[in-house]
Amino acid sequence: MLSNKGKYGLKALVHLSTLPPGQTALAVQIAESNNISKKFLDAILNDLRNAGLVRSKKGPGGGYALARAAEEIKVGQAVRVLDGPLAPIGCASRTAYQPCDDCHDVATCSVRLIMLAARDAMAEVLDRTSIAEMRDRARAGEPELIYEI
Query: Is the Cα dihedral 70, 73, 76, 79 positive or negative?
Result: negative
What's residue 28's pLDDT? 95
Task: Give the C-alpha separation, 118 to 134, whole Å.
Answer: 21
What's residue 149's pLDDT? 53
What's residue 53's pLDDT? 98
Those residues of the chain that have pLDDT short of 70 are 142-149
What's residue 89's pLDDT? 87
**Pick from 55, 54, 51: which is nearest to 80 by CA?**
51
CATH 1.10.10.10 occupies which residues in the chain? Answer: 4-66
- Fold classification of 4-66 is Arc Repressor Mutant, subunit A (1.10.10)
DSSP E strand boundaries for 10-100: 54-57, 63-66
What's residue 90's pLDDT? 86
What's residue 82's pLDDT? 97
What's residue 75's pLDDT? 98
Which helix (H) or strand (E) segment holds residue 107: the answer is none
Phi-psi region at 108: left, alpha or beta (left = phi > 0; alpha = psi -120 to 50): alpha
What's residue 104's pLDDT? 85
